[in-house]
């Protein structure tokens, strides 16, 4: 058996192994070629066994293989030809036209007892494994690439995210800052809005509570706004006038004037002026208007103050001023007239003394009576002038009422029924003034009944409680009523009858009831009226009763003569003359001076010469010179025991009412009669003697 056959027999089992296996001799001759290699290479063992393998595969002869195979043939250690470094040892093309990848182990196999070795090649097909691994690698590398890409993307995303985060942070910071700014703005705006609302409320409150009527108008004069005061002042409802043309509220005669004011407003000119507006009831309302443009608006503000009352007061003040002027005039006239009457009275008294012829005497008596009435008239004038204090004394109103009523109705065709309570209380009054009140009321009642009739005068005692409707202090009062059955007073006029100058009579002065009102109020009393047209009028007077007892008047005594040296001071020559004559008739010696300076000088001289005056009669008022009030002050310093009598036509002067307070010992009102002068001096010297 040859060598090839032996080797084939020896390695035949390798045909069944799924590895490519062949055996080489050291001269590279193939000794065995298994079935697997036949399939792989398509080379049948009959073709290759016994041939040099480099004939089939020349590269196997190269050192890359030969050097390593040399050791194998010497029995050296096995050798590996890895698939990755060699791809294949025996080329084998597969169906898919690619080479089979092979991992090859070469192991020495002892050939014989000699130290010869064959090389046994065992070739493992790792094509599929390699493909799988390559696929795996590709897949893995792709995965890694993807991972890298993803990581890169993630990095980019992270970077972008970080940038975004940064931008978001910056933007957030900006937004926070903006938000804070906005919050501040919102806060400021809210505060401003709150303040605006508060200001609006404040302004509305001011406007609403303003006592003035405030309106705003557009340029065309249409009313935009009115405050609540509108209704109160004018009677219009706010909704009635809003949108209305303001000229519709202006009286016809003032429209031209108001149009000019409206034009002023449109030219930006403010102003304050008086005008009138027509109220809802059609009556005019005097008003003071302050107008101005509203800054920032095409509107104008017009503040309207109702000055109707003020205008009325101004009118009343004007009347009062007129009245005061008339009063001053009346007082002056009364004073001068009293001086004249003093001369007339004095002369009549003296004439009566000398006149024995009865008829002439009677005429003188009548003249004296007329002069007495003239004196009463001057008293009324002085009362009207309201220039002085009342001269009050305890009085029986019974006699006063009767005398006054009868005097007023003397010669009239109107009758008077007088009902006086028998136990009528007394009162502390100025007789002249209360007499004048009664007189005025009777005259009014008489004039209310031009066709005649009966006036009812009544006087009663009444006691008022603290809750009386007359607003009088609680206490005892004398209630006097004067009732007529005349034409009555209309409701419209009844509130005005006590106003000065108010009269419904063509020739009336408007002083009668206003004077009565003034006098009664001056006595802390009350006067009121009740009247119905065509039925009649009743006037009531309440005068406080006095607990003091009334002393009956003593009858005038005859001329009371006396002795003494009298100094008479008066600026009026005729008064000095007649007074001197009267004093002479009364038994006194007289010297005259014109004013206070002369009086002081003469009085002091008389003291030095020892022929001092027992009394001084001084006129209270000396035009352009020192009057009685100032003179007595100076004389009292010189002679505290001086007896002085003040004489004046101003019978209601405070000095006359309270003469002792000013240093005088007596008072005599001009005009005075011989009898009155004698009584005053008698009284003066009586007290001196006391």
Partner 1 sequence: MQHWLFPPDSASKLVTVLTGEETGTPDIDSVRAGTLGEVGNIVLNGVMGSIGNILNQYISYSLPTYLEDSLENVLFIYNIVPPPNTLPLVRIRFMIQQLQIEGDIILIFEVGSFTVLLKLIETIK
CA distance 292 to 312: 27
Beta-carbon count within 10 A of 156 CB: 12
In the list 18, 42, 58, 75, the residue contacting partner 1 (rule: CB under 8 A) is 75
Radius of gyration in angstroms for the set of CA atoms belonging to the chain, rounded to a whole number: 73
- How near is the Cβ of 10 to partner 1 at its closest, in Å? 21
Instruction: Select from 66, 82, 266, 551 the one that contacts partner 1 (CB under 8 A).
Output: 82
Helix, strand and coil percent figures for the chain, each rounded to 5: 50, 20, 30
Beta strands 299-306; 79-81: pairing state: unpaired
* CA 366 from centre of chain: 72
Q: Out of 80, 173, 182, 208, name the contact with partner 1 by CB under 8 A.
A: 80
66's CB contacts (< 8 A; 6+ apart) are: 60
Task: In angstroms, give the least distance from the CB of 81 to partner 1.
Answer: 7
C-beta separation of 618 from 603 below 8 A: no
Structure tokens at 651: 């019978």
Looking at the Cβ atoms of 83 and 585, the one nearer to partner 1 is: 83
What does the block give as tokens for 164?
Answer: 């975004």
652 contacts 342 by C-beta, under 8 angstroms: no
Q: How far is the CB of 51 from partner 1 (least distance, A)?
A: 27
Structure tokens at 308: 């109707």
CA distances for 506 relative to 488, 509, 510, angstroms: 16, 9, 10
Q: Interface with partner 1 includes 65 (CB under 8 A)? A: no
CB 390 within 8 A of CB 433: yes
Nearest to partner 1 of 81, 477 (CB atom): 81
- Figure out which of the listed residues 10, 51, 56, 76 binds partner 1, where binding follows CB under 8 A: 76
Least Å distance, CB 99 to partner 1, is 15
Q: Determine the interface stretch with partner 1 among 36-44, 82-90, 276-284, 605-613 (rule: CB under 8 A).
A: 82-90
Closer residue to partner 1, CB minimum distance, 84 or 201: 84
Task: Tell me whether residue 144 or residue 247 sits nearer to partner 1 (CB atom).
Answer: 144
Q: To the nearest whole angstrom, how small is the minimum distance from the Cβ of residue 12 to partner 1?
A: 24
Task: Indicate whether 81 belongs to the interface with partner 1 (CB under 8 A).
Answer: yes
Cα–Cα distance between 478 and 396 in angstroms, integer? Answer: 11
Q: Is residue 61 a contact residue for partner 1 (CB under 8 A)? A: no
Which tokens hold the place of 665?
Answer: 């010992």
Which of residues 35, 50, 61, 105 is near partner 1 by CB under 8 A?
A: 105
| Binding range to partner 1, per CB under 8 A, among 49-57, 69-77, 495-503, 607-615 | 69-77
Q: How far is the CB of 137 from partner 1 (least distance, A)?
A: 7
Phi and psi dihedrals of 80, rounded to 5? -115, 135
Binding mask 415-434 for partner 1 (x = CB under 8 A): --------------------
Query: SS3 letters for 227-257?
Result: CCHHHHHHCCCHHHHCCCEHHHHCCHHHHHH
Among 68, 279, 386, 604, binds partner 1 (CB under 8 A): 68
Among the listed ranges 81-89, 280-288, 459-467, 672-680, the one in contact with partner 1 (CB under 8 A) is 81-89
Options 45, 100, 103, 643; binder of partner 1; rule CB under 8 A:
103
Q: Which residue has the tokens 């926070």?
A: 176
Tokens coding 83 = 């698939």
Residue 154 in tokens = 């993630």
- Of 107 and 308, which CB lies nearer to partner 1 in the complex structure? 107
**Of 71-79, 208-216, 328-336, 447-455, which segment contacts partner 1 by CB under 8 A?**
71-79
Compute the distance between CA of residue 10 and CA of residue 5 in angstroms, rounded to an integer.
Answer: 8
Query: Which member of 18, 78, 271, 450 binds partner 1 (CB under 8 A)?
Result: 78
In angstroms, give the least distance from the CB of 154 to partner 1: 19
Q: Which part of the chain contacts partner 1 (CB under 8 A), choosing from 83-91, 231-239, 302-310, 596-604?
A: 83-91
Phi first, then psi: what are they for 276, rounded to 5°? -135, 150
Q: How far is the CB of 141 from partner 1 (least distance, A)?
A: 6
- Neighbouring CB atoms inside 10 A of 589's CB total 15
For partner 1, the closer of residues 103 and 375 by Cβ is 103
Distances (CA, A) of 23 to 26, 28, 53, 647: 10, 9, 10, 188
Contact status: 225 vs partner 1 (CB under 8 A): no
Q: Which is nearer to partner 1, 17 or 313 (CB)?
A: 17
Among 34, 41, 83, 404, binds partner 1 (CB under 8 A): 83
Per-residue string for binding with partner 1, 127-146, x by CB under 8 A?
--xx--x--xx--xx--x--
Integer Cα distance of 607 and 99 in angstroms: 182
Select from 28-36, 56-64, 123-131, 645-653 the region that touches partner 1 (CB under 8 A). 123-131
79 lies in the binding site for partner 1 (CB under 8 A): yes
Determine which residue in the list 63, 77, 268, 640 makes contact with partner 1, applying CB under 8 A: 77
Contact stretch for partner 1 (CB under 8 A) within 125-133, 218-226, 630-638, 639-647: 125-133
Token pair in block for residue 286: 């005097």
Out of 3, 12, 84, 176, the residue judged to bind partner 1 by CB under 8 A:
84
Residues binding partner 1: number (CB under 8 A): 24
| Distance in Å, CB of 168 to partner 1, minimum | 38
| Residues pairing with 226 in the sheet | 215
Q: Single out the segment in contact with partner 1 by CB under 8 A; choices: 126-134, 378-386, 504-512, 579-587.
A: 126-134
Q: Cα angle vertex 13, ends 12, 16, to 5°? A: 110
Positions 280 through 309 that interact with partner 1 (CB under 8 A): none
Q: Which residues in 258-294 are b (16+ Cβ under 10 Å) and which e?
A: beebbeebeeeeeeeeebbbbbeeeeebbbbbebebe
How far is it, in rounded angstroms, from Cα 585 to Cα 344? 16
Dihedral sign (CA 639, 640, 645, 649):
positive
Closer residue to partner 1 (CB): 115 or 158: 115
For residue 120, which of 133, 130, 107, 132 has the smallest C-alpha distance?
Answer: 107
Selected from 119, 126, 215, 646, the binder of partner 1 by CB under 8 A is 126
- What whole-number distance in Å separates Cα of residue 650 and Cα of residue 681? 20
User: Token pair 């003071």 is at which residue?
Assistant: 288
Q: In terms of CB distance, is 16 or 67 closer to partner 1?
A: 67
Classify residue 174 by burial, with Cβ atoms within 10 Å: 0-12, 13-18, 19+.
exposed
- Range 143-162, binding partner 1 (CB under 8 A): 144
Stretches 43-51, 122-130, 434-442, 534-542: which one binds partner 1 (CB under 8 A)? 122-130
Give least dist CB 80 to partner 1, A: 4
Provide the binding-site residues for partner 1, judged by CB under 8 A: 68, 71, 75-85, 103, 105, 126, 129-130, 133, 136-137, 140-141, 144
């Amino acid at each position: 058996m040859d060598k090839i056959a032996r080797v084939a027999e020896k390695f035949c089992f390798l045909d069944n192994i799924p590895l490519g296996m062949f055996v080489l001799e050291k001269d590279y001759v193939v000794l065995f070629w298994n079935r697997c290699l036949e399939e792989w290479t398509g080379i049948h063992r009959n073709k290759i066994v016994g041939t040099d393998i480099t004939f089939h595969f020349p590269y196997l002869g190269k050192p890359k293989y030969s050097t390593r195979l040399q050791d194998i043939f010497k029995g050296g250690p096995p050798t590996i030809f890895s698939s990755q470094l060699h791809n294949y040892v025996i080329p084998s093309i597969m169906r898919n036209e690619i080479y089979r990848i092979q991992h090859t182990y070469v192991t020495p196999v002892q050939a014989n007892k000699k130290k010869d070795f064959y090389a046994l090649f065992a070739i493992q097909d790792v094509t599929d494994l390699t493909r799988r691994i390559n696929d795996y690698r590709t897949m893995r590398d792709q995965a890694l690439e993807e991972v890298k890409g993803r990581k890169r993307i993630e990095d980019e995303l992270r970077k972008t995210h970080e940038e975004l985060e940064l931008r978001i942070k910056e933007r957030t910071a900006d937004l926070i800052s903006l938000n804070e700014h906005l919050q501040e703005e919102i806060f400021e705006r809210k505060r401003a809005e709150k303040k605006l609302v508060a200001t609006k409320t404040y302004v509305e409150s001011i406007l609403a509570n303003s006592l003035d009527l405030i309106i705003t108008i557009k340029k065309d004069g249409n009313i935009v706004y009115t405050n609540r005061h509108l209704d109160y002042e004018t009677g219009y409802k706010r909704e009635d006038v809003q949108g209305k043309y303001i000229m519709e509220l202006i009286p016809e005669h003032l429209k031209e004037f108001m149009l000019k004011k409206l034009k002023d407003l449109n030219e930006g000119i403010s102003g304050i002026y008086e005008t009138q507006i027509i109220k809802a009831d059609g009556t005019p309302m005097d008003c003071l208007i302050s107008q101005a443009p509203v800054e920032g608006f095409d509107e104008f503000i017009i503040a309207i103050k109702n000055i109707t009352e003020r205008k009325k007061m101004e009118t009343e003040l004007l009347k009062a001023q007129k009245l005061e002027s008339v009063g001053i005039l009346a007082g002056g006239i009364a004073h001068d007239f009293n001086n004249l009457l003093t001369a007339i009275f004095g002369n009549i008294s003296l004439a009566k003394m000398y006149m024995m012829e009865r008829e002439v005497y009677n005429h003188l008596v009548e003249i004296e009576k007329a002069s007495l009435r003239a004196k009463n008239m001057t008293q009324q004038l002085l009362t009207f002038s309201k220039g002085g204090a009342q001269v009050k004394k305890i009085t029986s109103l019974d006699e006063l009422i009767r005398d006054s009523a009868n005097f007023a109705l003397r010669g009239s065709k109107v009758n008077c029924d007088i009902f006086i309570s028998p136990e009528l209380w007394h009162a502390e009054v100025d007789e002249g003034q209360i007499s004048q009140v009664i007189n005025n009321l009777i005259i009014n009642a008489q004039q209310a009944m031009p066709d005649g009739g009966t006036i009812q005068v009544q006087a009663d005692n009444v006691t008022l409680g603290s809750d009386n409707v007359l607003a009088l202090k609680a206490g005892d009062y004398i209630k006097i009523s004067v009732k007529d059955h005349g034409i009555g007073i209309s409701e419209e006029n009844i509130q005005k009858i006590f106003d000065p100058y108010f009269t419904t009579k063509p020739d009336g002065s408007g002083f009668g009831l206003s004077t009565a009102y003034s006098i009664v109020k001056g006595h802390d009393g009350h006067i009121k009226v009740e009247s119905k047209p065509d039925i009649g009028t009743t006037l009531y007077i309440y005068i406080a009763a006095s607990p003091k007892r009334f002393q009956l008047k003593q009858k005038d005594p005859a001329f009371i003569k006396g002795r003494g040296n009298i100094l008479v001071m008066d600026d009026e020559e005729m008064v000095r003359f007649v007074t001197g004559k009267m004093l002479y008739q009364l038994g006194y010696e007289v010297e005259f001076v014109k004013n206070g300076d002369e009086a002081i000088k003469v009085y002091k001289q008389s003291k030095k010469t020892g022929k001092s005056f027992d009394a001084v009669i001084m006129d209270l008022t000396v035009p352009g010179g020192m009057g009685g009030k100032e003179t007595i002050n100076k004389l009292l310093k010189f002679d505290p025991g001086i007896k002085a009598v003040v004489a004046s036509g101003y019978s209601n002067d405070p000095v006359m009412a309270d003469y002792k307070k000013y240093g005088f010992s007596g008072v005599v009102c001009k005009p005075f009669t011989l009898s009155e002068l004698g009584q005053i001096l008698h009284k003066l010297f009586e007290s001196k003697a006391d």
